[in-house]
């Protein structure tokens, strides 16, 4: 049993360096992986489809597919897996890891680029390096004609616009300006 524990800890050390997760986080993720897989060595799309937290997510299908997309394994492969093991699972989970207090600006920028690449891959479903309008429309399961103001506002949440987007005009009455549909 001691040799097997040492092998697991060595493998965890390797995953720590590849993903940036702590030993405790990897152990917790391994337990979650075992729950999702039913103690099997691999998980399938159906295993992830049963995660309650994804049930009402409008891009649930794209999130699940991202786990099986070879591009998200920090390698230069294209295509998808039918099932994934724990190491592949944790490599995808590393894209969701927030920066720590010790993360340098260069590391934050690298993380940002990785996350953007991950999100891009979720929408570039044909792996051609371009998100077409058709691929974008498939993102939410239902087709929609456009974006409402509320959705637009949610997309731009966190973007500090107050001091970045302005034009100074004299004698402009801004109280008559409205967003979205007119209520009159």
Give the pLDDT confidence score for residue 172 in this predicted structure: 47
Q: What was the pLDDT predicted at 109?
A: 86
What is 134-164 written as a DSSP string? Answer: HHHHHSSSS--SS--HHHHHHHTTT---TTT
The whole-angstrom distance between residue 105's C-alpha and the CA centroid of its chain comes to 21
pLDDT in tens, 58-81: 788 888 999 999 998 866 788 899
Tell me what pLDDT residue 160 has.
58
Residue 143's pLDDT is what?
A: 47
Minimum mean pLDDT among 1-10, 111-120, 153-162: which range?
Answer: 1-10
Query: What span, in angstroms and rounded, lies between the C-alpha atoms of 155 and 9?
Result: 41
Is residue 167 predicted with pLDDT exceeding 80?
A: no
- Of 177, 57, 76, 79, the residue nearest 126 (C-alpha): 79
| Percent with pLDDT over 90 in the chain | 28
DSSP-derived letter for residue 53 is G
Whole-number Å distance between alpha carbons of 179 and 176: 10
Q: What is the pLDDT of residues 5-31, one digit of tens each?
A: 566 677 889 999 888 889 999 999 999
Return the percentage of the chain with pLDDT > 70, whole number.
74
Q: Is the pTM of this model over 0.85?
A: no
Could you tell me how far CA 115 lies from the centroid of its own chain? 7
**Cβ atoms of 21 and 94 closer than 8 Å:** yes
**pLDDT of the residue at 9:** 72
The pLDDT assigned to 78 comes to: 85
Q: How far is CA 59 from the centre of its chain?
A: 10
Averaged pLDDT, 84-104: 90
Compute, in degrees rounded to 10, the torsion defined by CA atoms 13, 110, 125, 76.
Answer: -60
Q: Report the 10 Å Cβ neighbour count for 168.
A: 5
| Alpha carbon distance 62, 125 (integer Å) | 9
């Amino acid at each position: 049993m001691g040799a097997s524990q040492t092998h697991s800890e060595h493998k965890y050390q390797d995953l720590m360096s590849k993903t940036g997760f702590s030993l405790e986080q990897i152990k917790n993720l391994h337990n979650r992986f075992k729950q999702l897989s039913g103690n099997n060595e691999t998980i399938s799309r159906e295993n992830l489809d049963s995660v309650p937290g994804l049930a009402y997510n409008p891009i649930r299908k794209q999130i699940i597919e991202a786990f099986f997309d070879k591009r998200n394994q920090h390698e230069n492969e294209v295509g998808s897996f039918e099932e994934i093991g724990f190491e592949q699972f944790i490599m995808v989970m590393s894209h969701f890891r927030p920066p720590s207090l010790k993360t340098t600006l260069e590391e934050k920028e690298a993380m940002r680029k990785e996350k953007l690449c991950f999100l891009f891959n979720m929408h570039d479903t044909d792996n051609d390096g371009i998100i077409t309008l058709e691929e974008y429309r498939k993102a939410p399961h239902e087709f929609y004609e456009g974006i409402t103001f509320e959705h637009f506002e949610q997309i731009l949440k966190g973007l500090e616009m107050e001091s970045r987007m302005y034009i100074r005009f004299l004698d402009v009455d801004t109280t008559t300006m409205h967003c979205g549909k007119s209520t009159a």
